[in-house]
Amino acid sequence: MLRRLAVAESRRLATLAKNRNGSLYEALQKRSINSSESTGAENASQLASYPVLLPPTSLPANVVIDTIRASLGSFHQVPLALQQALDCRVIIPSDVISAVLDDVPALTANKDDRRQILRLLVQLVLNEQASSQELLNACLHHKAFEEALLLFRNGCYDNLSIQTKTIMTHMHCLTEFSSALPKQIELIKVWKLFMAYFVHGKRSRAPQVALIFQHQYPFIGSPTPEVVSKIALDMIRDNSKDLYKIIRQFIRCALLREDWYLTPAVYSEWLDRFPQHHSRSIPLLLDTIEAKKLTNVPSGLISKGLRYSFLLCDWNHVAAFQALGPVTNLKLSFLQDILSNDPSLLTNQITSFALDHHPEPHLSPFVVQWLRESCPSNFHRVFMQEFGPKLMTLLTIEQSSFPLALEVLELASALEDVATLSDMFDIYFNACKRRRVSPLPGLVIAQANTEKLTSIPLQMMSAALEARDYQLVTELYKITQEHEMGENWPKFAAQATAIASTPADHDMIHAFFIDKDETKTMDVFNMFVKANSKLSSESLRHFALNVMRQHDMVSLHEILDYAERNEVPLSAEIFTVCFTTHRREKQDPSVFLQIFNKWVELGLVEDNAIVYHAAIHGCMECGNIDLAWSCVENADVNGILLDQKLLNSLVREANKDEESHKKPKDESSQGVDQ
């Protein structure tokens, strides 16, 4: 019986529009306007038949407004004052209405009493005796939904938020067609549900809101694409397996409704978050694109659909996405070329390895076998460019796969892609160092292909030096001289190896660079000096820091003297560490302070406040106050601002030093007088 009544009501409502193309919401608006005009005419005729009754008293406007202001804070007085304003037809200022709205929560805790006050304010607004932009939101906040809907129907609102406007639009539709709704639908519960979801942002209510929109169409009206997408995205982001059926039904509902649309973000997140549902979501995506139910179809969504179709090995879906537009992703283009060449070459293992962001290591043997036996030779170069480093990373995860890694290196070395080959060598040698595997097999391959390398992987130099293959290290260094690589520690080690001439020198270099034996620092330094090799600023910095960690200031003096003779600039960090070391050992830093001042004049070091602070502290610690004041004067000349607390402590130390010198003089003078 209820179903028949609902069907009859929906058929009757479908005839409201003048033509079949008119929407249900437009018909609703026309009916509401006609009904308001008819009710207005009826009320006018009824009022005309009644005798004219004047209010018992007609008070001045200022008296009524003052009465409202005086009544604030008293629940019993505010309704009487508002009713008096209604009877006297007094126009109330907006600030008075705002004051009443602010006072409503403090007047009473009873919801019905609050609604009584809000109802009087609504009557004032409808009678054009007042205006308020916050009244509709206040009605919603205090759950005076009927009053809020009355304001919305009469257009008594301004600057509503998108969420509030969405609630009012759809609740206006549901209220108008309430007679056609099932009896189990309670509008007050729908009001609270919409408020909790749209206004208070409770995403857990999204499934309930989706069911309302899905089951009460067309009585609820047509939501905007943003609203439909928000509901779908909130259910998707919940990451609950139980919601999959509701999500799918809601999206299918959007396909069936004529004026429902989705944004691309819905499918983008759905495909990313639920890979186990790709067999159903991808066909639904194709249906949505074909039905033109997306607000726009970005190329990224097409690439994503094509990627997941490859992972499913569904060539029909792959062809469908290929027809939608060109793909700029090189990995997908490679798979497309393989597919067009021979579809049987693509297996689930190959597509998973190529397209998964984090493929499983157990796929690597299948990929190597496919590359060796099935992949056409004309695709080897593209494969190595796109997947070579990725395959090398997988093969070096487990030590048992290192022979396969060497096989892939040999395949890559047969190609002319130098950059990819260097990256793969770097990954391999780094894995050898991490796994403590001998790098000699990889070095054999590298040595056979050194002429192809325009840039040497740093890990290759370290691995060759660690394996004591000094001949290969020397060859690699020659390549780095032809192609600039910048300053780095492995290149510095290779330079030292090229200079060394005896096995003892090689052992010393191995101990210094590989075993990190800092006691060999000056031996390596002297070897560079004897060979008349110009050391870089970074190399001298390493030497200086090493000798200072050993508290060897004599060697530091030699290094600084070499840098001064060859005009090699150094960072102020070296002098800062030097002065800090002197302070810790309570030694006088006057020698190195003189060197620092000389270097500042020569422009070999850039001074700063940090190095001056370290120097002053070092001078104060050893009691050389005069030298500390000379540091202050030099800093002032060079425009360096020093810490005021440090200067104050220096003044106190100077005063103490002066008093200590005065006391012996006073004692000696007293002895002479006696």
**Nearest one of 201, 225, 202 to 213, comparing CA atoms:** 225
Separation of alpha carbons 26 and 17, rounded Å: 7
pTM for this entry: 0.62
Structural domain range at position 595: 571-662
Asked if residue 300 belongs to a domain, the reply is no
Asked if residue 88 belongs to a domain, the reply is no
Residue-level pLDDT at 249: 92
Residue-level pLDDT at 47: 42
Asked if residue 78 belongs to a domain, the reply is no
Helical residues (DSSP H) of 216-277, grouped into ranges: 225-237, 244-256, 264-273
Asked if 324 and 301 touch (Cβ cutoff 8 Å), the reply is no
The full DSSP string for 584-625 is: HHT---HHHHHHHHHHHHHTSS---HHHHHHHHHHHHHTT-H
Domain count for the chain:
1
Asked if residue 630 belongs to a domain, the reply is yes
Residues with Cβ within 8 Å of 33's Cβ and at least 6 positions away in sequence, in order, are: none
Asked if 433 and 425 touch (Cβ cutoff 8 Å), the reply is no
pLDDT, mean of each 10-residue run, the chain (674 residues): 45 43 50 51 47 53 83 80 84 84 77 82 83 82 84 82 87 83 80 90 91 84 90 90 89 90 94 90 93 91 92 91 86 87 86 87 89 84 87 87 88 79 84 78 76 62 71 69 53 70 75 74 82 82 88 89 89 90 88 89 88 88 84 84 83 74 53 46
Residue-level pLDDT at 20: 40
Asked if residue 298 belongs to a domain, the reply is no
Number of other CB atoms surrounding residue 201 within 10 Å: 10
Asked if 77 and 108 touch (Cβ cutoff 8 Å), the reply is no
Asked if 107 and 78 touch (Cβ cutoff 8 Å), the reply is yes
**Nearest one of 620, 638, 639, 640 to 629, comparing CA atoms:** 620
Asked if residue 632 belongs to a domain, the reply is yes
Structure tokens at 29: 């608006």
Residue-level pLDDT at 248: 92
Separation of alpha carbons 646 and 365, rounded Å: 66
Asked if residue 366 belongs to a domain, the reply is no
What's the N-to-C CA distance of the chain in angstroms?
132
Coil, strand, or helix at residue 262? strand
Asked if residue 435 belongs to a domain, the reply is no
